[in-house]
Chains A and B, each alone.
Chain A
Amino acid sequence: MAAKTLFEKVWEQHIVAEPAGEPTLIYIDLQLVHEVTSPQAFDGLRLAGRKLRRPERHIATVDHNVPTTSAQDRLVIVDQIAAAQVNALRKNCAEFGIEFFDVQDASQGIVHMIGPELGATKPGMTIVCGDSHTSTHGAFGALAFGIGTSEVEHVMATQTLPNSRPKTFLINVEGELPFGVTAKDIILDIIGRIGTDGATGYVIEYAGSAIRALSMEGRMTICNMSIEAGARAGMIAPDETTFAYLKGRRFSPKGEQWDAAVAHWKALPTDAGATYDRELHIDATTLAPAVTWGTSPGMTTTIGASVPTLNDAKSDADRKSYERAFEYMDLKPGTPMEEIRIDTVFLGSCTNGRIEDLRAAAAVVKGHHIATKVRAMVVPGSQAVKRQAEQEGLDLVFKTAGFEWREPGCSMCLGMNPDILQPGERCASTSNRNFEGRQGRGGRTHLVSPEMAAAAAITGHFTDIRKWKDVASTLPPTLPVEQMLVEGGSR
């Protein structure tokens, strides 16, 4: 039998029909549903008098719109249009028989957080959602991709999607990551190299020792931002790390079925000798903490470097984009990244809102206080992450340092709820997009890792996390944690 890639195996196991001259009809194992991209799809079904074919292959939650300020604010949403959208999902899930994790549910969270947490996301599955960051689930060796609302309706009605077969792209990251360099820095480096359309038409498979060494959290961060390189999806072969993460979760197979499932999943990784349409090899040992400077995730550099100049632009189109980005971001070309001061720090999102991200940021923050005039917030990606963090006392570390500790949701990643940047505000954000106005009209976003965001919150400007010990020793002394808590977390 011909050697096959991970993608090819999953694709071929899901072919329903291959009509001549038409796209391949692919079976969809799981559709995740949220409030923003689903109401028109449910309406479409009703209008056409169609049923939802497989309700048990759907899971729904609310994430984009929900306020994160308090549990009470979420139950009675003040924004009437947002409230109507959340209510529409409640009603639609009840009518069509979809399991729904509502705002107060212990399993609520960003849709791409809860799929893995519940064990609904598994290796070898096909997973879709009306959200581009569905690529996250590829970290488990699933083929997972974002779709529009018409396609959401199509999957509801048929549990399939017509799809043209994408090309394959191997990105091999080999070697040990230097201290202070994270999964976020790997993916920002990749997007910086190949551009925001560098993987259009491809499914990326991330491989190599640096990827293998990552936790599931880190792998999800990488796959999450595949779409930022234009890729249809990103995938990582399942291994012992994957199985250990999934074992015992609510929707994971149990007992004998678990062993049989693992046996199937172990056959998924790319065969020796299989070939890809394109390959990129990266030496992990050369990577450094990344910071974006512009208005596209491809406009990225490293913390030791400076905002580029027009001379760095590779084409006329780039030059035009650079000029526009300098103006929008209010940055002078050539400014060292470490000199850029920030107003806001956002720690959260489906990219970096997981427990490991919060632990890493808390380790930086502990014993310090955020800089004067900086507003900083932590928005756990899910209820499960929030609970876990609180059990570990991370909430106290953040609150003591002056961070706001919020309820789970998408929050300031896209500012559909009240968490937005004001015009001109500059934000160190652990999210995935630095587009103009993404976090609020006129807001300026710099994408970084959780560690880098935490360090920027403390110093008030981008700071090289690799030198954090030295930097921290020069910071003014803070009160012992117990005393700061008594004084309400301020100094």
Chain B
Amino acid sequence: MIPINVLTSTAVPLPLPNIDTDQIIPKQFLKRIERTGYGDFLFFDWRYNLDTPDHVEPNADFVLNKPEYSGSKILIAEKNFGCGSSREHAAWAINQYGFLAVIAPSFADIFFSNAGKNGIILVRLSDENVETLMQRSTANPKHVITINLEEQTVTDDQGFKASFEIDPFRKYCLLNGLDDIGLTLRHIESLDTFESKHDHDFWNAPKA
């Protein structure tokens, strides 16, 4: 995981609520056993027209195919982003496409967790603030947004400024690019103690 603090970038507006992980990465790409290479399949069904089963063409109307938005590192969406399936492939696809942050009024729980494990900053702003940024990025693809994780703020050059909440521990991990398993293993003694007792609780054992 790469540590991140300040992110300054143009943003891609995707003005839809309840964008589910089936849209972020459709099922057919979940058969792969690799952890990389998902960026090309991000929003596949929206991004490509299917002319024949074997031939896809980019859908020129979809925002990711508009050249003026290429290179953006921030995605803006409406409420409940990432709902549905637990597939971490959704976080991989977003990240591997090049997005480092998503701004929305709310996120689904499992996606929220998956994004954190992949160093993606999820910024929760009010409906009004998201709407303002959505409008500015829609009107002007060159509109630049700055997310400052340390200060927990989102700003732009037109005087927009909003602060966002983030769990202090999640922030600490993002800022330092920390490996989760390593962090847990700091508690190995507690774990060993707990487990040696818990293993006697046969009513909790998967295989009695």
Contact = CB atoms under 8 A, between A and B. Distances in A.
Nearest to A258: B208
Contact of B80 (A154, A227, A230): A230
Interface stretch (A177-185, A346-354, A431-439): A431-439
B12 interface: no
A122 B203 contact: yes
Contact of B208 (A22, A88, A254): A254
B208 A36 contact: no
A197 interface: yes
Interface string A18-29: 010111010101
A191 B93 CA distance: 28
Contacts, number: 209
Interface string B192-208: 00110010011111111
B85 interface: yes
Interface string B79-92: 11001111111010
A34 to B, nearest CB: 11
Contacts of B18: 196-197, 296, 321
A96 B21 CA distance: 30
A16 B191 contact: yes
A85 B17 CA distance: 33
Contacts of A158: 181, 184-185, 191
Contact of A132 (B16, B28, B85, B183): B85
B141 interface: no
B194 A27 contact: yes
B34 interface: yes
Interface string A453-490: 00000000000000000000000000000000000000
Interface stretch (A76-84, A216-224, A276-284): A76-84
B166 interface: no
A51 B23 CA distance: 35
A260 B108 CA distance: 39
Nearest to A163: B113
Interface string B2-41: 0000000000000111101011001110111111000000
B169 A23 contact: yes
A198 to B, nearest CB: 10
Interface footprint category on A: 35 or more
B78 A317 contact: yes
Contacts of A44: 35
B204 A124 contact: yes
Q: Could you say which of B184, B194, B198 has the most chain A C-beta atoms within 10 Å of its C-beta?
A: B184
Given A158-B191, A162-B183, A81 B207 contact: no
B109 interface: yes
A37 B109 contact: no
Interface string B162-197: 000001110000000000110111010011001100
Interface in A142-195: 145-151, 153-154, 157-160, 162, 164
Contacts of A46: none
Interface footprint category on B: 35 or more
Given A196-B18, A441-B45, A436 B23 contact: yes
B22 to A, nearest CB: 5
Contacts of A201: 109
Contact of A17 (B114, B190, B198, B208): B190
Interface in B19-77: 20, 22-23, 26-28, 30-35, 45, 50
B108 A197 contact: yes
B20 A435 contact: yes
Interface string A83-120: 01100100000000001000000000000000000011
Contacts of A123: 203
Q: Could you say which of A57, A123, A164, A435 has the most chain B C-beta atoms within 10 Å of its C-beta?
A: A435
Given A162-B183, A415-B27, A437-B45, A125 B204 contact: yes
B86 A130 contact: yes
B169 A148 contact: no
Contacts of B137: none
Interface in A250-283: 251-254, 257, 260-261, 264-265
Contacts of A88: 33
B84 A84 contact: no
Contact of A160 (B27, B32, B79, B184): B184
A69 B23 CA distance: 27
Contacts of B117: 148, 150-151
A320 B17 contact: yes
Contacts of A320: 15-17
Nearest to B192: A16
Contacts of A124: 203-204
A59 B88 CA distance: 20
A107 to B, nearest CB: 13
A232 interface: yes
Contacts of B114: 148-151
Contacts of A36: 30-31, 87
Contacts of A438: 22, 27
B86 A132 contact: yes
Interface string A50-92: 1000001101000011000000000000010110110010000
A201 B191 CA distance: 26
Contact of B118 (A150, A317, A416): A150
B207 A251 contact: yes
9 contacts: A16-B190, A21-B169, A27-B194, A29-B204, A40-B35, A40-B88, A122-B203, A200-B106, A317-B17
Closest 4 interchain pairs by CB? A148-B88, A148-B114, A150-B117, A261-B203
Given A125-B206, A162-B180, A437-B22, 5 more contacts: A57-B206, A147-B113, A257-B208, A321-B16, A415-B27
Interface of B: 15-18, 20, 22-23, 26-28, 30-35, 45, 50, 78-80, 83-89, 91, 106, 108-110, 113-114, 117-118, 167-169, 180-181, 183-185, 187, 190-191, 194-195, 198, 201-208
